Structure 1
Amino acid sequence: MTDTRPGGRAPEAFVLTGAFWVVCRNPRYLQELSARGLKVLLITPESYREVARTCMKDPDHPASLIDDIAFVDGSLDQEGSFIPGFIARARDWRRQYTVVGAYAVGETLVEPTGLLGDALGLPGPGLRATRACRSKYLQRWYLDEFGPASLVVPPGEREETALDGLAYPVVAKPATRHSSSGVVTVADAAELRDRLADYPAYETVLVEEQVQGQEYSVESLVQGGEVIFASVTRKETTESHARSFVELSHSVPNARTEEDEALLSASRRLLTTLDFRDGIAHAEWRLGADGRPYLMEIAARTPGDGLLALYQLATGRPLEPEIVRIALGEHASYPAPRRWARQVYLDHEPGTLEDVTVDWPGVSPVWVGDGGMWPELAPGGPDAPPTLRAVLVLKDKGAPLSPLTSSDDRAVTFLIDAPTPGELDELERRVRAAVTLTVGTAAGHGS
Structure 2
Amino acid sequence: MNNTTERPEAFVLTGAFWVVCRNTRYLQELADRGLKVLLITPESYREHAGRCMADPDHPASLVDEVAFVDGSLDQEGSFTAGFVARARDWSRRYTIVGAYAVGETLVEPTGLLGDVLGLRGPGLRATKVCRSKYLQRWYLEEFSPASTVVPPGERAALDADALEYPVVAKPATRHSSSGVVTVADAAALRAVVAAYPAHETVLVEQKSTGQEYSVESLVQDGKVIFAAVTRKETTESAARTFVELSHSVPGVRPGQDQELLDANRAMLEALDFRDGIAHAEWRLAPGGRPHLMEVAARTPGDGLLALYQLATGAPLEPEIVRIALGETASYPQPRRWARQIYLEHEEGVLEDVHVDWPGVSATWVGDGGTWPEAEAGPVDAPPTLRAVLVLKDRDARLGPLESSEDRAVTFLIDAPTPEQLDALEERVRAAVRLTVREEAGDVVRPAA
TM-score where L is the length of structure 1: 0.97
Matches within 5 A, 1:111-122: 111-122=108-119
Give 1:165 deviation, angstroms.
Answer: 3.0
Distance 1:233 1:292 in 2: 17
Letter of the 2:384 partner, please give it.
Answer: T
Q: Secondary structure at the match of 1:323?
A: helix
Q: What's the counterpart of residue 381 of structure 2? A: 384
Give 1:6 deviation, angstroms.
Answer: 8.5
Give 1:370 deviation, angstroms.
Answer: 1.0
Change beyond 3 A, Cα 1:55–1:446? closer
Give 1:68 deviation, angstroms.
Answer: 0.7
Q: What's the counterpart of residue 351 of structure 2? A: 354
Check if 1:41 corresponds to 2:48. no
Distance 1:6 1:424 in 2: 49
Q: What's the counterpart of residue 251 of structure 2? A: 254
Letter of the 2:258 partner, please give it.
Answer: E
Give 1:115 deviation, angstroms.
Answer: 0.1
Q: What's the counterpart of residue 91 of structure 1? A: 88
CA contact (8 A) 2:229 2:252 kept: no
Check if 1:13 corresponds to 2:20. no
Give 1:229 deviation, angstroms.
Answer: 0.1
Unpaired runs of 5+ residues, structure 2, are none
Give 1:438 deviation, angstroms.
Answer: 1.2
2:220 to 210, 218, 223: 223
- Aligned length in residues: 443
Distance 1:93 1:327 in 2: 18
Q: Secondary structure at the match of 2:74?
A: coil
Q: State the Cα deviation string for residues 75-115 of structure 1 (Å, max 9, x = none).
A: 00000000000000000001000000000000000000000
Distance 2:229 2:39 in 1: 31
Check if 1:371 corresponds to 2:382. no
Extract structure 1 runs of 4+ deviating beyond 6 A. none
Distance 2:369 2:204 in 1: 36
Q: What's the counterpart of residue 399 of structure 2? A: 402
Unpaired runs of 5+ residues, structure 1, are none
Distance 2:98 2:141 in 1: 32
Q: What's the counterpart of residue 287 of structure 2? A: 290
Q: Secondary structure at the match of 1:374?
A: coil
Change beyond 3 A, Cα 1:172–1:423? same
Distance 1:138 1:17 in 2: 22
Distance 1:339 1:164 in 2: 49
Distance 1:341 1:147 in 2: 29
Distance 1:78 1:250 in 2: 30
Q: Secondary structure at the match of 1:93?
A: helix
Letter of the 1:307 partner, please give it.
Answer: L
Change beyond 3 A, Cα 1:358–1:92? same
Q: Secondary structure at the match of 2:156?
A: coil
Check if 1:418 corresponds to 2:400. no
Q: Secondary structure at the match of 2:354?
A: strand
Q: Secondary structure at the match of 1:242?
A: coil
1:157 to 130, 154, 157: 154
Q: What's the counterpart of residue 338 of structure 2? A: 341
Give 1:166 deviation, angstroms.
Answer: 2.4
Distance 1:87 1:67 in 2: 19
Q: What's the counterpart of residue 20 of structure 2? A: 23
TM-score where L is the length of structure 2: 0.97
Q: What's the counterpart of residue 208 of structure 2? A: 211
CA contact (8 A) 1:387 1:416 kept: yes
Distance 1:442 1:397 in 2: 16
Letter of the 2:21 partner, please give it.
Answer: C
Q: Secondary structure at the match of 1:389?
A: strand
Give 1:259 deviation, angstroms.
Answer: 4.0
C-alpha RMSD of matched pairs (Å): 1.6
